[in-house]
């Protein structure tokens, strides 16, 4: 198992849609383990393959919501949600991202989400959730669609994020950080 560098906003690999997985082998199983190891080392709730420069449609999640630990992975996910809010989110409804390290912005998400896909062996998987896990499922499937959560921001939050990206010089590809060794 390996902890891999995490790409930072500004890298075009984060905005490129993922490629569906068609080969289910030991390499894929090892890759899923690397995603878990990297997510754990980064103290993340979830991690998508393109965040570590891999184009496959895979994400992992490992978080506590409502006192329960939720841990799993989904390959080739398809997302369904309740309606998305169309107004400014509550200022306390913060979301962060390992590819936008150290930043948190109010982000509107659907209350309910369901992801269907397969696991590392090709068996069907369905994950249905509300709360924090629902937010995570939406966040990670957005990654695989080539969308950072910053694109979902509204009004002053969107403007603040644009300034932050410019101030941090995250406008060029190639920026990354390695959990466990770098401070993002």
What pLDDT, in 10s, does the model give residues 163-176?
999 999 998 888 99
Mean pLDDT score across all residues of the chain: 95
Mean pLDDT of 73-85: 97
Q: Are 6 and 99 in contact (CB under 8 A)?
A: yes
Report how far residue 14's alpha carbon sits from residue 51's, in angstroms, rounded to the nearest whole number.
Answer: 6
Query: Beta-carbon neighbour count of residue 143 at 10 Å?
Result: 26
What percent of the chain stands above pLDDT 90? 90
> Which residues, listed in sequence order, are joined to residue 129 by a DSSP beta bridge?
113
Binding residues for Fe cation: 97, 139, 143
> Which residues, listed in sequence order, are joined to residue 74 by a DSSP beta bridge?
59
State the catalytic residue, choosing from 95, 103, 140, 151. 140
Mean pLDDT of 141-167: 96
pTM of the model: 0.95
**Res 184 pLDDT > 80:** no
- pLDDT tens-digit series, residues 3-55: 999 999 999 999 999 999 999 999 999 999 999 999 999 999 999 999 999 99
95 catalytic residue (yes or no): no
């Amino acid at each position: 198992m390996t902890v891999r560098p995490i790409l930072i906003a500004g890298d075009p690999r984060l905005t490129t849609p993922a490629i569906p997985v068609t080969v289910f082998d030991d390499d894929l199983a090892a890759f899923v383990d690397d995603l878990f190891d990297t997510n754990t080392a980064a103290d993340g709730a979830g991690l998508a393959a393109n965040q570590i420069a891999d184009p496959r449609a895979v994400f992992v999640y490992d978080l506590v919501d409502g006192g329960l630990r939720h841990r799993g992975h989904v390959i080739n996910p398809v997302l369904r949600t309740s309606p998305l809010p169309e107004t400014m989110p509550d200022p306390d409804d913060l979301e962060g991202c390992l590819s936008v390290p150290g930043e948190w912005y109010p982000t509107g998400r659907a209350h309910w989400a369901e992801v269907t896909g397969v696991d590392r062996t090709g068996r069907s998987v369905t994950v249905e959730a509300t709360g924090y896990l629902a937010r995570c499922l939406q966040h990670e499937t957005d990654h695989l669609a080539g969308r950072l959560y910053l694109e979902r921001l509204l009004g002053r939050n969107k403007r603040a994020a644009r300034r932050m990206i410019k101030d941090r010089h995250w406008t060029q590809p190639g920026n990354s950080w390695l959990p466990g060794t770098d401070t993002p």
